[in-house]
Each structure stands twice: as structure tokens, then as C-alpha cells.
Amino acid sequence: MAVLWLGLLGGLLAFPLGLFVWAVVRHLVTAEIPATIQHPVRLRFLHCMVLYVFAWGSILEKLRICSTPRLLQLLQDLGTIKKDPKLVVTDMRFGSIPVRLYQPKAASCKARRGIIFFHGGGAICGSLDSYHSLCSFLSRETDSVVLSVGYRKLPDYHHPVITQDCLNASIHFLKTLQTYGVDPSRVVMCGESVGGGAAAVVTQALLNRPNLPQLRAQVLICPPLQAINFFLPSFQQHQNVPFLTKDIMMLGVCKYLAIDRSWEDAILKGAGIPPDAWEKYKKWLSSENIPKRFRTQGLQPEFPGPFNEAAYLETRHVLDIENAPLLADDKVIAQLPEAFLVSYENDILRDDTLLYKKRLEDQGVPVTWCHVEDGFHGCILLFDKKPFCFPSSLRAINAVVSYINGI
């Protein structure tokens, strides 16, 4: 009996180790670490850990114990929250939406700038806690009141909950700026990753609210702005670069939009895009709009693939404006406030930012663009995570702070 128990114990101990070895092997086989990235070993280690957690999530999901998003959300908030002695941080709720308010303690002779911030995480993870350090840094370094919005996400909530929560929280905040000592003429909309996409959508939606204070600027950090053309150069060039690989991206797209993953290949090929819709939107979504220096040789030809009506019926909401702010009419784009756009060279979403930059500039909207040559998706979140901070992390966060301080 003792031998049996020892064998069982050995098996239990060996399984996690074996799973980690699998994650390392998968990383070595599939991951691409561009030569421009500094400290590649750090990135490799972190990506192996991400694959390890996703592997556990898949197992627990199949055993119906815990979904992958739930596991990621549990793990991301295990760390302790660092208190900043220079800030007053208050957790509140706007209706059913949890928010966190960051206010500098020092007295001010005038109303402060306000920043509405939407976190990233692809609707799978990300939270008020995991973005606490970043929001604290923004508040302290720009002497601003920051509202971080904890929108609802997977696995319980799907499209269009993120944009609805972000819009409703923004409207509530804009109506009560005086309560928080915020100058109505200096409110900035800001978001990172999927939060950047939500920031773009909310900024457009607020144009229909003339009774609210107008936004001073929008700050979009590596945002997803469409889920239509997956043949853009950055998607082909960087689909295996951590942390946002093609597999993780499509997992988030399909789960959030409640699309069965059997349609993933059709989405990637554009088979669900009607020819007349592509004819209308290709002037904004075509790879021809990407500067030549980003279009390397050997890329596959422009999409879409042969039209599949069944795929269209299952995936047509990718054409909705709240999922593709790049498709907004010119008259909407022309009314938008000035923008600060952050893109990373080694990011699968790089070209979404480049396309939006062109759209804004074509309509006369002032754009300041920060392109981080050695950056990768999500690097800004590591700006204070020693020993896993990257030079690109600091460049990105400092560029955002510098821009906000200048307006």
C-alpha cells in the first residue's frame, strides 16, 4: 500500500513538471523572438509561464473545474497592491461597474486633468488590480485624477458588454467631474490593448452626447481596432511573437464575440466578409494603407477568401462599429479629438494603429505617434516589474506621460 501511495504522489508531482516541460517545448517550437527585442531570455521565460498557465486552464476547463479566463483572473490578482503615499485611491461602483479612482494628495490651486483608463487583457484577463501600478504611475507623474474602469468580461459576459460598461462609466464620470476636482476641458480618454479599442469606440460614441464635456484627447496604446482583415503585414509577420500570438488573439476574439471556434479559419481568411462590404471598407482596411517600410517581401496576397454565407451569418458582428471603430464614417472621424497612438514593431496589432493613424490624419485630426521599435504587445505593463522590465516598457510609459503632460 505504501508503494502505491508513493507512486501516486510521484505521479502528482511529475505531472506539473511534465506540463511545464511541454510548455517549454511548445515555446521553442512555435514562438518567434525578434532580434530587435532586448533581453530575449526574459521574454522567453515569461512566455513559457503564460503557456504553462494556459495549459492548466485548458485541462481544468475540460474537467469542468474552472474556465481558462477564470484561472487567469485568479492568478493575476494574487500579488499585493503597492500603496503610493502620494495618492488617495478609492474603490467605488458606478451602478454595477467597479471603478478605481486615483487622486493626488497634494493640494492644487486649480482643477486637475482627468484620465479615463480602460485596461487590457483581451476580455480574458486584466483587472483593476493588475493595472494598479500603471494607473498609479499615470496619476502621480501627470498630476491627474485617473478613473480606472473594471468592465465586466469573460467567461460570464460577452459582446458588447466591454464597450457598454466603458461608455456608461465614462458618461457617469463626465457628468460628475466637479465632484472629483477635474477640469472639464482637460479630460483624456486612455486605453491599452483591448482597452485601447474600447477607448476608440467610446470616444466616437461620446460625439453623440453634446451635453457632456468634450474630450481633450484620446490615448490609444496598441489597440485592436478591427477583426476583419487578418492578412495585414503585422499579423503575418508577428503572429507567433509573445505575448499576443495568433492563437491567443483568436481565442479572445471568438470567446468574446461568442463565435464557435470552428469558424476561426473562416474568420482568418475573411470568408465571412461579403464582397460588397469589402469593396466599401477596403479603402480603410487594405494593406496598401500601411507604409511600405512595414510591408516586407514574401507576404501572402490580400484577402478576402471566397465568400461563405454561413460564415457571414455566424460572424457578421465583426462588422459592427463597436467591434471595428476603423469603419466609422469620415464625418465621425473628422470630429474626434487629437490622438496619441502607441504602436509596437513586434506586435500582431501594429497595423491596426497604423490604419487608424492614416484615417485620423486624412480627416485632419492631429495625431502624435509613438512607435517603439523593440516593443511587443503588453510590454508597457512590465514597466515596474523588476527583474522583468524591458527598455521598451519604460519608453512606452514615459512617452504616454510626456504627451499627457504636454496637453
Active site residues: 193, 347, 377
Query: Residues 297, 206: contact at Cβ < 8 Å?
Result: no
DSSP codes joined into one string, 269-337: HTTTS-HHHHHHHHHHHSGGGS-GGG--TTPPPP---S--HHHHHHHGGGGSTTT-GGGS-HHHHTTSP
Residues in contact with 25: Cβ distance below 8 Å, sequence separation at least 6, in sequence order:
none
Strands 144-149 and 97-104: antiparallel
What sign has the CA pseudo-torsion 98, 104, 105, 110? negative
Taking the mean position of all CA atoms in its chain, how far away is CA 302? 25
Burial pattern 168-190, b for ≥16 Cβ within 10 A else e, equals bbbbebbeebeeeebbeebbbbb
What sign has the CA pseudo-torsion 273, 275, 276, 281? positive
CA dist 264 to 54, 58, 116, 136, 245, Å? 19, 18, 33, 38, 14
Apex 326 CA angle, 407 and 249, nearest 5: 100
